[in-house]
């Protein structure tokens, strides 16, 4: 639940803004599968950099971006109500900030 639920608002926002629902859902599922595969075995420690750099860290960046967007989305919508900015622009700005935060989360070691 903690891995999947924060992704829902971000997937919905990107899907509405771009119209590419299938691509967004497939990309999210591809990122989440690496984590779920690692969680299948308790005490799993990734051996080698391939699983870590191509699996877990991309998921971590995506998940941090999704969690940030979940917090920023209501703020963006309230800002759109109180200002002349459209809700689409406000949500797009929140997505951009969330993506920046997601990338910053893996700038060093997560």
Average pLDDT over residues 15-23: 93
Higher-confidence residue of 1 and 103: namely 103
Band of residue 78 on the pLDDT scale cut at 50, 70, 90: very high
Q: Would the pLDDT of 25 be above 70?
A: yes
Average pLDDT over residues 5-26: 93
For residue 46, give both structure tokens. Answer: 């990734």
pTM: 0.84
* pLDDT tens-digit readout, 30-63: 888 877 777 777 666 666 676 667 778 888 999 9
Q: What is the pLDDT of residue 91?
A: 96
């Amino acid at each position: 639940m903690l891995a999947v639920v924060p992704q829902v608002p971000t997937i919905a926002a990107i899907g509405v803004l771009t119209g590419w629902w299938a691509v967004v859902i497939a990309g999210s599922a591809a990122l989440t599968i690496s984590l779920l595969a690692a969680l299948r075995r308790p005490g799993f420690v990734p051996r080698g950099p391939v699983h870590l750099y191509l699996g877990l860290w991309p998921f971590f960046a995506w998940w941090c971006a999704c969690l940030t967007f979940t917090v920023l989305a209501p703020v963006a919508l309230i800002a759109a109500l109180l200002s002349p900015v459209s809700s689409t622009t406000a949500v797009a700005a929140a997505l951009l900030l969330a993506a920046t935060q997601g990338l910053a989360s893996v700038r060093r070691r997560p």
